[in-house]
Every structure is written in C-alpha cells, then in structure tokens.
Chain A
Amino acid sequence: MATDWQPTAEIATLRARARLIAALRAFFAERDVFEVETPVLGHGGSSDVHLASLSTQAITPAGRETLWLQTSPEFHMKRLLAAGSGPIFQLARSFRDGEVGRRHNIEFTMLEWYRPGFSLAELIAECDALIRHLLPQDPGPLRQRRYRTLFREALEIDPFSVALDELQRLATKHGGLDMSDSPRDDCLDLLMSLVIEPTLGGEGVDVVVDYPASQAALARRHRDPDDGEWVASRFEIYLAGLELANGYDELTDGDEQSARFAEDNAQRRALGRPEVDVDTRLLAALAHGMPVGSGVALGLDRLLQLALGKQSVAEVMAFATPRC
C-alpha cells in the first residue's frame, strides 16, 4: 500500500515544533516586537537574479492579473515600517521555485524581523540570543568572521582583488565543473558554498560580515574603515555548516532601490531569465521614507532542524514538497 500520504515529520517532532514556535513568540513579546501577517501574494516579485519566483493568475477588481508568491515577506514588511509600525516580526510562508533538497523546500517558513534604529551589531546580538533561546544546548561562542579573511584562510586569495581568471581556475578546480566563463560573483558563491561554508559554525555561531559590494542585494554599502574597500552592510549566520540567517542594514533610499531593481532585471535579460515586475509600491514607500534600521531573515525550518537534531528540513515539516 502507498505510504506517501504520511507526514515527512514525526508527530512528536511537530509537537516539539509547536513548542519552539511558542517560545519564539514569547521571545519577541518580551522585547516588544509585535507579530504581523502580510500577504503571500503581491503585485511585485523578487528581482533577485538567483531566486525564481512562483506566480499565479488571479481575478481581482482590476481584472485578470499576475500575482507573485513572495520569496520572503520583505517588501510588505518594509511598507509597514514606512507606515510607522516600529519593530515587527513575521513567520511567513515563502516560496522559491526549484529549491528542493536536504536544506531546501519550495515552500518554507521564513522568520523575518525588523528593528528600526538598530545597528547591524545590535541585530547580530539579538539573532544570537534568539538562536540560544531555541537550541536545547549551548552552540558555543559567537564569532564574527570577515568574508575577506575567510577566503584568505581557506584559499589564500583576496576575494576583492584576485584576478578573474585565477578565480575561475579555482572555482573550476574545487567545483569539478567548467567555470571558465562564469562571472566573478558566481565563482565566489561556488567557493563559498563548497569550500568555506562546510567549515563554518562547527565550534560556535559564526557570523560572516563585509560581503563584496556586488552582493549587497537590499543592504546598504559602506567603505571598510580599515582597507577602504566597498563592502555590503550585511551579515550571514552559520551554525553546524548550515546558513541560518541573512541580515541587512536596510537600504532606505528609493532611488538606489529602483536602480538595483533595474540592474537585476538587466542581469536577468542577459542570462535569458524572465524579468520580474518591480514592486512600485515598495519604491513609493521608500520615497515616503522608511526609518533607518536593520532587518534579518532566518530560515526557521533549518533552525528547528538543528534544535531538534534532525538531518533535513523535511523532517521538521508536516509535508515537504514531494509529499504535498
């Protein structure tokens, strides 16, 4: 008899998941960060070149329209910030086409929160506190690692100044696939994923900072005070080789945001990928004014996987995509 009707998580695990989510809500309640619910569907999609959005057709008061399923709740939450919400968090169902594996599921839960007035350092400390609040044992100390230092240690190159052909040679060697035509960021991403990531978060909570400016996404950029290099004001948190969270000193300049959307769509055209409808309402909200501050998106299923000692995100989800 078929058994694929059964959940991919044990019932005891789902019970533990519910307990951890209650603890998470208590954590934010205590800090006066209130929970919001924003739509999964939106008129604008994520323009990020490496994210594939799902879309659907809907009959709305405006007629038949294409609506996008969010890849994260970022756009709607930023509009709330611009409207004066103050600190907010959300457990948001998010969707990324094609992403299925031990660490990925097309539909997953993103824990996203925003802290107007917080510096990146303050938000890193809060992330660390939340992770410790949910894990059953001490994950070890919090360590800040610079992107540049990680590449120097693991690969003996400076990721900012190394020649493109040397980078392509290294990516080809470590990846075992031809990267000789690949752009700089693709080579860096491959080396980060295959060489550096597996070494992160083994002895504690590793926070990677000072990413290349070209990988800023929706973060501000700043000049590194030590070496004068332009870097992205963002961080990523790794634990046990898993990328858990991605935080930004949020871009609040509407014109800059608009330029980055256009840049993304230009890259999409060049790669033969579909262009995405730009979220004009987000641009209008930024033009109105969004408070300066930091925000972070954390893959809740991955954190629960670690907290509950499981090997895959499917084991902490009721029905992972192959069984939905």
Chain B
Amino acid sequence: MANYSTSEFKGGLKVMLDGDPCSIVENEFVKPGKGQAFSRVKLRNLMTGRVWERTFKSGDSLEGADVLELEMEYLYSDGEMWYFMMTDGSFEQYAAEKRALGDTEKWLKEQVAYTITLWDDKVINVNPPNFIELEVVETDPGLKGDTAQGGSKPATLSSGAVVRVPLFINQGEVLKIDTRSGEYVSRA
C-alpha cells in the first residue's frame, strides 16, 4: 500500500496504526507562531471501534490500509461463521467471525443488505442498515383497544433482538426498527 503523509490525512482515509486498520476522523493542523508544525489526528480503530487521538510531526507518514466497504446480503450461519454474498452480481461470498459481527448479530435477516468492511480481504466489521423490518416471535398478547401512547412491553424479534414495543403489538406482526437506537419505529 501507499504511504500517506500528514498533509494527505483527511476524513475517511484508511491507514495502519499500531498494526490495526484505522479510519481518519479528523485532522487538525497545529502550529505555534514560529515553531514546528504538528497534526492532531483522531482515528477510529476499525477493529475495536475505539477513537484514538494521536499527534504527528508535519511530514510524518502512515502506511495506507487495504480497507474496502461493500454491500453484501446475509445468507446463513453454520453456527461458527456467518456468510454474506456480494450484491453486484458476482455471487462472491465472504465469511464473518462472531467478533466481526459484534452487536449486528441481533439484527441479522436473510436477503437484507449489510455494509461489510473488508481488510486484506477479511471481514472485520458488519454494519446493519439504519432501519430493518423484523417479525415479532414472542410477546405478551396485545391489549385490545389500547392504542394510546405510553405503555410498552418487551418483544422478541425473529433475529433474536428484544425491543420495547407498544402494548397493542401482537405476535406475528412485522415491525420497523431503528438499528442505531434499537427502538421500535412503526408497524411495517
């Protein structure tokens, strides 16, 4: 991979730092009146999601990271690995480990497209779409006529996630969920 010097650091650039691929969040040029220039850089570690703050001398460089973000459909899991397929017609498949799935495991649904981050051709992160439609597989029976706001109860969805839903929701209904907050949005 190419090397990038501090003047080329910009939001979204993928670089290697301490052996992990990182995405640059922010690069602030710092320079005292008559002194040496520095770059204060915020980077998101793509393996852990943690944000690091580092300072570099102007002109220092980092190795680029071979990182790609691609859309892939979820296919199935064999219990050990989770399989995804490219949506570009190539039918190319990638397997993700549990570690790469992280929280996304509870938002998996077949044939839904996820954003997959590949580093050196390995899946390191799986991001769900912002909204997903999932079926209620278990919840207390709905209270007839109670469509008022306020009351809520837990419901288990087909993907395994448990979310708070209004009291009038019944088993078997399909709901729209915001995966960023894990909150019920509406009936689908």
Contacts and interface: CB of A to CB of B under 8 A. Distances in A.
A84 interface: no
Contacts of A215: 34-35
B31 A192 contact: no
B33 A236 contact: yes
A190 B30 CA distance: 9
A189 interface: yes
A186 B58 contact: no
B93 to A, nearest CB: 37
B33 A246 contact: yes
B53 interface: yes
Nearest to B35: A189
Given A98-B7, A177-B55, A177-B57, A103 B29 contact: yes
Which of A103, A189, A215, A217 has the most CB atoms of chain B within a 10 A radius of its CB? Answer: A189
Interface in A206-243: 215, 217, 236, 243
A280 B54 CA distance: 42
A17 interface: no
A99 interface: yes
B29 A176 contact: no
A50 B30 CA distance: 12
Which of A103, A175, A197 has the most CB atoms of chain B within a 10 A radius of its CB? Answer: A175
A101 B58 CA distance: 12
A50 B57 contact: no
Contacts, number: 64
A36 interface: no
A217 B32 CA distance: 13
A193 B34 contact: no
A268 to B, nearest CB: 13
Given A48-B34, A217-B34, A102 B28 contact: yes
A175 B36 CA distance: 13
Nearest to B54: A176
A23 interface: no
Contacts of B31: 50, 99, 104, 193
Interface in B21-77: 27-38, 40, 53-58
A217 B34 CA distance: 8
Interface of B: 7, 27-38, 40, 53-58
B34 A194 contact: no
Interface string A45-56: 000101000000
Given A99-B29, A186-B35, A193-B38, 5 more contacts: A176-B53, A190-B55, A192-B32, A194-B30, A194-B38
Nearest to A179: B57
A192 B34 contact: no
Contacts of B56: 177
Contacts of A194: 30, 38, 40, 55
A196 to B, nearest CB: 9
Given A98-B7, A103-B29, A193-B30, A50 B54 contact: no
A166 interface: no
Nearest to B27: A101
A260 B111 CA distance: 70
A99 B37 contact: yes
B29 A50 contact: no
Contacts of A236: 33
B39 to A, nearest CB: 8
A178 B53 CA distance: 14
A177 B54 contact: yes
B45 to A, nearest CB: 14
A118 to B, nearest CB: 20
A98 B38 contact: no
Interface string A71-106: 000000000000000000000000000111111100
Given A98-B7, A101-B29, A102-B28, A189 B55 contact: no
A200 B53 CA distance: 22
Interface string A3-25: 00000000000000000000000
21 contacts: A48-B34, A50-B35, A98-B7, A99-B37, A100-B7, A100-B29, A101-B27, A101-B30, A102-B28, A103-B29, A175-B38, A175-B55, A176-B55, A177-B55, A177-B57, A186-B35, A189-B35, A193-B38, A197-B32, A243-B33, A246-B34
The 9 A-B pairs at the shortest CB distance, nearest first, are namely A189-B35, A101-B29, A175-B55, A189-B32, A186-B36, A193-B32, A246-B33, A177-B55, A193-B30
A185 interface: yes
Contacts of A193: 30-32, 35, 38
B9 to A, nearest CB: 11
A127 to B, nearest CB: 14
A303 B119 CA distance: 44
A140 B32 CA distance: 23
